[in-house]
């Protein structure tokens, strides 16, 4: 099923009469993004060569905020309005720390820009609208159900991720719109959480837009934040019971070259024992900037071993977008 084949049930769609702002105008700022990535790109094997999602126009010039995995290494991008018009776009930047991506349209869509809101004022229980491209039929009325740390297996962590429910089924790059009609976040993931009664409920993880404002100038000027890159290991890790387990390593990445294997248990980084995924990534990043040596103590089968991983700048493995 494609995004064009479905719509949010009417009882879950937001009613424009319930909002003190022009909801339909705000939703028109949410656009569709389709990107094409070369088959030999570093992320092609994990993220695919064709990616589709949404983004939000944040400047009248056609600047779009989206989630970075949609446009990482993209060679060709098409941006579509809710009424079906399409123009090419260019991937300006991808910030690995926040997860945001920026796209610039290369033609005019004449869409309104959604003003950036104050994420710090967003509280658990607040009503919000989560919108993919396509107007009301692709928008869902939802609520903030959590503000807390989040760690991803791909060497990613946020201090204050936003969690919303009910979940939007096409979350990637969607816009989270606050009660004042301003943009408060960009959709990243769908997750499941147990309720303690044997039931599991879907919710979305949203990156707070407050993480974009301080770095926007650098991203527009340099394509990345103008500071030393974090150390990257090319290691995918997950929490399994009380253990942190290596779920895989990137081909040719630092962890693979150092001898880290799928199934290894991560016991410590340096002298610090690791008990959760957030702690793992924060300890790795505390080792210095990209290029720093990261000392790991691992459990493998019934033995313990120490390995030193010479970290890298993840961006050095990625294809740079070309402007056609």
In this prediction the pTM is 0.94
Sequence-ordered list of residues with C-beta below 8 angstroms from that of 222, at least 6 positions apart, any chain:
93
The DSSP 8-state label assigned to residue 287 in this structure reads: T
**Which stretches of the chain are assigned E, i.e. beta strand?**
30-36, 50-57, 63-67, 76-80, 86-94, 100-105, 127-131, 139-152, 156-165, 175-177, 183-194, 200-208, 235-240, 243-249, 265-269, 272-273, 293-300, 303-310
* Domain 19-113+216-222 and domain 235-317 have a common topology: no
Q: Which CATH architecture has domain 119-210?
A: Beta Barrel (2.40)
Structural domain boundaries in the chain:
19-113+216-222, 119-210, 235-317
Give me the pLDDT at residue 1, please.
40
CATH number for 19-113+216-222: choose from 1.10.490.10, 1.10.150.20, 2.40.10.10, 3.20.20.70.
2.40.10.10
Contacts 24+ apart (CB under 8 A), 220-228: 220/63, 220/92, 220/93, 220/102, 222/93, 223/92, 223/93, 224/93, 224/94, 224/95, 224/315, 225/95, 225/97, 228/289, 228/290
Residue 17, Cα to own-chain centre: how many angstroms?
31
Give the H/E segment covering residue 289. none
Give the tens place of pLDDT for each residue, 170-183: 999 999 999 999 99
Written as tens digits, the pLDDT of the chain (324 aa) is: 444 578 999 999 999 999 999 999 999 999 999 999 999 999 999 999 999 999 999 999 999 999 999 999 999 999 999 989 999 999 999 999 999 999 999 999 999 999 999 999 999 999 999 999 999 999 999 999 999 999 999 999 999 999 999 999 999 999 999 999 999 999 999 998 765 566 778 999 999 999 999 999 999 999 999 999 999 999 999 999 899 999 999 999 999 999 999 999 999 999 999 999 999 999 999 999 999 999 999 999 999 999 999 999 999 999 876 654
- The residues, any chain, with a CB within 8 Å of residue 200's CB and separated by 6 or more, are 192, 193, 194
Q: How far is CA 157 from the centre of its chain?
A: 10
Q: Which CATH code for domain 235-317?
A: 2.30.42.10
């Amino acid at each position: 099923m494609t995004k064009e084949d479905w719509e949010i049930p009417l009882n879950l769609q937001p009613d424009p009469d319930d909002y003190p702002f022009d909801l339909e105008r705000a939703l028109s700022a949410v656009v569709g993004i389709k990107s094409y990535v070369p088959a030999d790109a570093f992320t092609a094997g994990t993220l695919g060569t064709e990616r589709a999602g949404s983004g939000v126009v944040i400047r009248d010039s056609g600047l779009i905020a989206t989630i970075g995995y949609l446009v990482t290494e993209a060679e060709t991008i098409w941006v579509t309005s809710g009424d079906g018009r399409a123009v090419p776009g260019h991937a300006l930047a991808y910030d690995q720390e926040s997860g945001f991506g920026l796209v610039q349209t290369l033609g005019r869509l004449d869409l309104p820009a959604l003003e950036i809101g104050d994420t710090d004022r967003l509280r658990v229980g607040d009503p919000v609208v989560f919108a993919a491209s396509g107007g009301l039929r692709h928008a869902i009325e939802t609520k903030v159900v959590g503000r807390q740390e989040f760690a991803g297996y791909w060497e990613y962590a946020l201090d204050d991720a936003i969690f919303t429910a009910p979940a939007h089924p096409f979350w990637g790059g969607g816009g989270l719109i606050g009660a004042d009609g301003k943009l408060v976040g960009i959709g990243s993931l769908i997750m499941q959480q147990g309720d303690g009664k044997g039931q599991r409920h879907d919710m979305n993880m949203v990156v707070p837009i407050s993480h974009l404002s301080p770095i926007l100038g650098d991203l527009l000027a340099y394509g990345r934040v103008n500071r030393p890159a974090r150390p990257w290991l090319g290691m995918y890790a997950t929490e399994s019971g009380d253990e942190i387990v290596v779920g895989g390593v990137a081909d040719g990445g630092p962890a693979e070259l150092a001898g880290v294997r799928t199934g290894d248990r991560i016991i410590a980084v340096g002298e610090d024992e690791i008990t959760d995924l957030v702690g793992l990534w924060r300890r790795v990043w505390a080792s210095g900037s990209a290029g720093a040596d990261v000392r790991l103590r691992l459990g493998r089968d019934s033995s313990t071993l120490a390995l030193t991983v010479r970290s890298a700048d993840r961006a050095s493995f990625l294809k740079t977008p070309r402007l056609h």
